Amino acid sequence: MTNLKWFNPPRHNPAARVNLLCFHHAGGAASFYKKWPAALSPLVQVLPVQMPGRETRYDEAFAPSIGAMVDELLRHQHAFADKPYALFGHSLGALFGFELGRRLARVGAAAPRFLVASGHGAPRAEPAVEQLHGLPDRQFVDRMREKYGGISDEVMASEELLDFLLPRFRADIRIAEQHVSQDDTPVRFPVVALHGRADQSVSMADVQGWQDKTAARVSIHEFDGDHFFIETNERQVIGVVNKLLGDQLRSLEA
């Protein structure tokens, strides 16, 4: 790999037969997936994608758009597309994963085996009706907690920590709210949609909309919990991913 900053940790599993790129949610970081390598097959290389402006990339400017991030990551496709690969993204990460997979197919590169779109409906054809990112700080935080959760009581109790994290939340929410789907042509890779039954930001109709975005199969898995069901049901979510990857590994052996 000629540039390791996008992947944290970088590749370190020469026995892997499948790569899994994982994209974090708005305000998150690659460390969100730190437990996943130990929970998945040793034949799977987990590559959490690190967006700029956090953790190992703290000194970089936040990404201006999802498209700009995809452009950058396309330059490093050799780091993950050298073998069969799949995509997992939660919330904002689901948009990132979908747009990366679509762009790779458009340029004639190997398509992902599947996308797991967690906590996000199909990409919109226009910007979000509700634009939170421009609200004053207190209104922004209150509405974020109401709609998504994810800002813990610990963070809320520390003014210093909240002030530190607010620019990251605001920057990520902005690119999520302003992103629009630029191409109506369905992709050809399957989409597995994960949905929290109590998610106030994503409806079942939003989730079902993924079928309009792919010519392949869409399957939907529901979980108890709100937008961050991925944390409260981490074992069950990883179980779904393990089964999907196991199917891919068996197909490679056939």
Helix, strand, coil abundance in the chain, percent, nearest 5: 40, 15, 45
Whether the model clears a pTM of 0.85, i.e. scores above it, the answer is yes
Structure tokens at 88: 């997992």
pLDDT score of 152 more than 90:
no
Look at the domain 18-253 and name its fold: Rossmann fold (3.40.50)
- In the chain, the N- to C-terminal Cα span, in Å, equals 29
d(CA 195, CA 228): 10
- Please tell me the distance from the alpha carbon of residue 97 to that of residue 24, in angstroms, as a whole number: 10
* Tokens matching residue 106: 């458009």
CB 100 within 8 A of CB 75: no
pLDDT at 76 over 80: yes
- Indicate the domain borders of the chain: 18-253
Mean pLDDT over the full length of the chain: 92
Contact indicator for 128, 173 with CB cutoff of 8 Å: no
Residue range 151-167: mean pLDDT, rounded: 88
pLDDT of residue 108 exceeding 80:
yes
Tell me the pLDDT tens digit for each residue of 194-247. Answer: 999 999 999 999 999 999 999 999 999 999 999 999 999 999 999 999 999 999
> Which amino acid would we find at residue 199?
D
Lowest mean pLDDT of 89-103, 143-157, 177-191, name the range: 143-157
pLDDT at 254: 64
**Is 240 within 8 Å of 221 (Cβ atoms)?**
yes
pLDDT at 84: 95
Contacts 24+ apart (CB under 8 A), 78-82: 78/1, 78/2, 79/1, 79/3, 79/6, 79/7, 79/11, 79/47, 80/7, 80/19, 80/21, 80/47, 81/19, 81/109, 81/110, 82/19
